[in-house]
Structure 1
Amino acid sequence: MGYRLVADAAMILHAAFLVYMVVGGFLAWRWRWTFWPHLATAAYGLGIATVGWVCPLTHVENWGRARAGEETLPSSGFIDHYLTGVIYPAEHLWTAHVAVAAAVLVSWAGLAYLQWRARARPDSPASQVQQS
């Protein structure tokens, strides 16, 4: 049972990582310090998608699954097992990657705009949020 908990925890962390990769830039609109962890998350996600890096959480989940006597994830990994064909059709993987990239870029553009607006109007509420 303990190994199954390890596998499940890795799966949940994997999902949280992906959710944060998509929405983390929007969180930075409110909490500016979260931009830097989001930048690292987005860069790592880009490396996984383009270079083919393997996420260490995949290894942890496979380790827990194997020791719990369950089948491991396919060699294509977490996204292909849990998301492709479940959340979006398999033939739209590239579209899903583009949508994630667009969400990240829109969130960063919005953050840049908020930063610019705060600097342009020092007495605005946005500048007070920036200082806190």
Structure 2
Amino acid sequence: MMYRIIADAAMVLHFAFLAYLAVGGFVAWRWRRTIGAHLAVAAWGVISILSGVECPLTVLENWARRRAGMNGLSPGGFIDNYIEGVVYPGEYTNVARLGVAVLVLFSYVGYVLRRQ
């Protein structure tokens, strides 16, 4: 039971991380001190996409799911299991990534303009 809770918590944290990745730059418009955290989150997003390195939250969820007697996530990890095919069709992955990148860049432009 405890491992199932850990797996579910890792999944929820992953969704929160992705939400913050998409809109955290806008949060920084109000709370400027959060821009450093968002830069780190955005950097991790870019690094994980370009290098294919597995997210620690995916590793944690897989570990907990296996300890709970469940199947691990598919080789594509969190995105393939919970996002692609659910939120958008898998063939639009690059479009979704581009959309998030544009959203983040727009939020950074707004952040800079609001600071002036």
Give the alignment's TM-score, normalised by structure 2: 0.98
Unaligned runs of 5+ in 2: none
Count of residues in Structure 1 that have an aligned counterpart in Structure 2: 116
What amino acid sits opposite 1:71 in the alignment?
A: N
- The two structures have a TM-score, normalised by structure 1, of 0.86
Shift of 1:73: 0.2
Q: Over the residues paired in the alignment, what is the CA RMSD in angstroms?
A: 0.6
Aligned equivalents of 2:80, 2:46: Cα separation in 1: 16
Q: Which residue of 2 aligns with 1:19?
A: 19
Tell which has more relative contact order, 1 or 2 (C-alpha 8 A, sep 6+): 2
Instruction: Confirm or deny that 1:6 pairs with 2:1.
Output: no
Once the two structures are TM-superposed, the CA of residue 75 in structure 1 deviates from its matched residue by: 1.1
Shift of residue 26 of structure 1?
A: 0.1
Q: For residue 36 of structure 2, what is the amino acid of its counterpart?
A: W
- Residue 39 of structure 1 deviates from its aligned partner by 0.1
Larger radius of gyration: 1
1:70 is matched with which residue?
A: 70
| Letter of the 1:115 counterpart | R
CA distance in 1, matches of 2:53, 2:84: 18
Q: Percent identity?
A: 52
Once the 2 structures are TM-superposed, how far is the Cα of residue 49 of structure 1 from its aligned partner? 1.1
Secondary structure of the 2:49 match is: helix
Matches of 2:18 and 2:26, distance apart in 1: 14
Q: In the TM superposition, what is the alpha-carbon distance from 1:52 to its structure 2 partner?
A: 0.8
- Distance across 2 between alignment mates of 1:101 and 1:47: 13
Aligned counterpart, 2:102: 102
- Report deviation, 1:48: 0.8
| Correspondence 1:20-35 to 2 at 5 A | 20-35=20-35
Q: Which residue matches 1:112?
A: 112
Inter-partner Cα distance in structure 2 for 1:54 and 1:47 = 10
Amino acid corresponding to residue 109 of structure 1 in structure 2 = V
